[in-house]
Amino acid sequence: MREDGSMRFCVLTLFPQMIEQGMGESILGNAREQGLIELQTVDIRDYTKDKHRKVDDYTYGGGAGMLMQAQPVYDAYQEATKECGKRPRTIYVTPQGRVFDQKLAVELSKEKELVFLCGHYEGVDERVLEEIVTDRISIGDYVLTGGELPALVIMDAVSRLVPGVLHNEESARTETFDNDLLEYPQYTRPECWHGKRVPQVLLSGDHRKINAWRLEEAKKHTKVQRPDLYAAYEYRQKVIRWLSRKKRQHIHMMELLKRNLGRVLAFDPKDGALLEENTGVIMLSCTSVEAGERLFAASGADFTGRLFCVCQEEIIPVLRSRCQATEARGCYQAYYTRGVPLPVSKELDIRRLDESYAEEIFAEYHELVTFEELKEHLARGDMYGAFVKKKAAGTAFHEDKAAEGENTEYELAGFIGTHSEGALGMLQVRPRFRRRGIAAALESHMINEALTREEIPFGQIFEGNEASLHLQRKLGLNVTDIILWWVW
């Protein structure tokens, strides 16, 4: 996404109108009107040097059909990307590419700009593909007449992950393919249609029972329709069950897998579990140093220079020798399992923050996050801020909101976020607003948000941060006496 949170698509095509029409209706059309999505279509024929606007020719070596020439494609690409700050991710849609799935959609949604090349005839001259293309992507094992439809499919899947496009961020988080399961069946009015009634549990109002029913239905559908996905789900559950034997020590790894924020690199009940968070953080719990070595070997990955979160201090020397780790820092883990929402002061205006607050937040909080990482958190909607009226700064909280005028100005008193691995963090209250319960209100708000998603809220506190440890206990979180280690 770009600086303002929008996503820009550029499509090199022989049929610009086909792309414009496909991206001009319904949700995507509205998103374009709001500036959440930008679209540029480039007609490759405009860049041919042939007076008849020809862009294809016969293939060397013979064979059926024609091939798109390198020159017009390359010139169109150069013109379309000349103002890009860096080489954009450029996708050639082809049956020979990596198969498109939801994980790849999430990956692509983190880009600021995507360029698509839509082929026709028998394809495109290989030389220009080698010159400009970064990704070859297929939407399935079949052949179409051109690349426009696959490009539209990919843009649709990516667009709905751009914050604000769906108007309900949970729609993009909990749906088909979430956590390796197909979506559960859904119903609307009337309650009875053609003699078939809506399942009674959905009318009960008991959200715990409803969610349990939906999970079972999702498992049932996945097992029958996509046994490959169900096998992946079962494997993930097996690892979670192993971790749950020492829940207090492993809550962060369990939540990582439950929330589909990472994947299993290696697992053996005798040795332990090795996980990779979606942004690359490595998490490890092993039964011995030798077991840890076996897990590393089983994964087959190179971990040099990676950031680790490990449950056993004795594995740190292995990370120093194997992965060139130089620093280690211990932390406690706090988690909330009561399931009861915490009270949040009504005197505070707590709301989700967007990228416009990036510089203001970074000036206060930059020890454990880069500016680019901070903007990504904001773009995903992972951060909240507590606001107070400007005239109340340094005095009591503002009066009841009903008495406020339309032009009342607020300022950011503190903020909190969720780290990429799911932990609560980035909690900061500006000095002149401290000792007013703002930190407690912010964390309580985030805990309540997690409870609505049936997640176990948790956070990690570095050794020596007594103020944060006191806050966790005050809010009713369990604080472990087991030290986790962040190693880098």
* Residue 347 confidence class, pLDDT cut points 50, 70, 90: confident
What average pLDDT does the chain have? 91
Residue 54 forms beta bridges with which residues?
none
Look at residue 84 and tell me whether its pLDDT is greater than 70.
yes
Return the higher-pLDDT residue of 394 and 323.
Answer: 323
Query: What is the C-alpha separation between 130 and 13, in angstroms, rounded?
Result: 18
What confidence score (pLDDT) does residue 178 get? 65
- Looking at per-residue pLDDT, the higher value among 486 and 482 belongs to 486
pLDDT in the model for residue 393: 45
Residue 420's contacts (CB-CB under 8 Å, 6 or more residues apart) are 261, 277, 278, 279, 281, 377
- Start-end of H helices in 96-136: 102-109, 126-132
End-to-end CA distance of the chain, in Å?
A: 28
Confidence (pLDDT) at 244: 97
pLDDT in tens, 26-63: 999 999 999 999 999 999 999 999 989 999 999 999 88
pLDDT in tens, 328-339: 999 999 999 999
> Sorting pLDDT into bands at 50, 70 and 90, what band is 453?
confident
User: Could you tell me the pLDDT band of residue 18, with boundaries at 50, 70 and 90?
Assistant: very high
Mean predicted confidence (pLDDT) in 85-89: 87
pLDDT of residue 83: 82
Give Cα 326 distance to the centre of its chain.
29
User: Under 8 Å CB-to-CB from 66, ≥6 apart: which residues?
Assistant: 56, 57, 58, 59, 121, 122
What pLDDT is recorded for position 173?
Answer: 52
Q: What is the pTM of this model?
A: 0.81
Percent of the chain with pLDDT over 70: 93
SS (H, E, C) 164-184: CCCCCHHHHHCCCCHHHCCCC
pLDDT digits (tens, 9 = 90+) for 91-106: 999 999 999 999 899 8
The pLDDT value given to residue 174 = 47
Q: Token pair of 71, please?
A: 């020159």
Task: Point out the least confidently predicted range of 177-186, 233-242, 344-353.
Answer: 177-186
Q: Is the pLDDT of residue 170 over 60?
A: no
Among 35-44, 66-75, 176-185, name the one with the lowest average pLDDT: 176-185
pLDDT band, very low/low/confident/very high, at 401 (cuts 50, 70, 90): very low
Peptide linkage before 190 cis (omega within 30 of 0) = yes
Mean pLDDT of 228-233: 94
Instruction: Identify the pLDDT of residue 179.
Output: 76
Burial (CB < 10 A; 0-12, 13-18, 19+), residue 298, is middle
Residue 419's nearest CA partner among 261, 263, 307, 273 is 261
Reduced 3-state DSSP string for 201-232: HHHCCCHHHHHHHHHHHHHHHHHHHCHHHHHH
Flag whether pLDDT at 177 surpasses 70.
no
Helices 247-258 and 227-244, interaxial angle, to 10°? 160
Q: Say what the pLDDT of residue 403 is.
A: 47
pLDDT tens digits for range 363-378: 999 888 899 889 888 8
Q: Of 115-119, 219-223, 263-267, 398-402, where does mean pLDDT reach its minimum?
A: 398-402
Q: Tell me, what's the pLDDT at 64?
A: 77
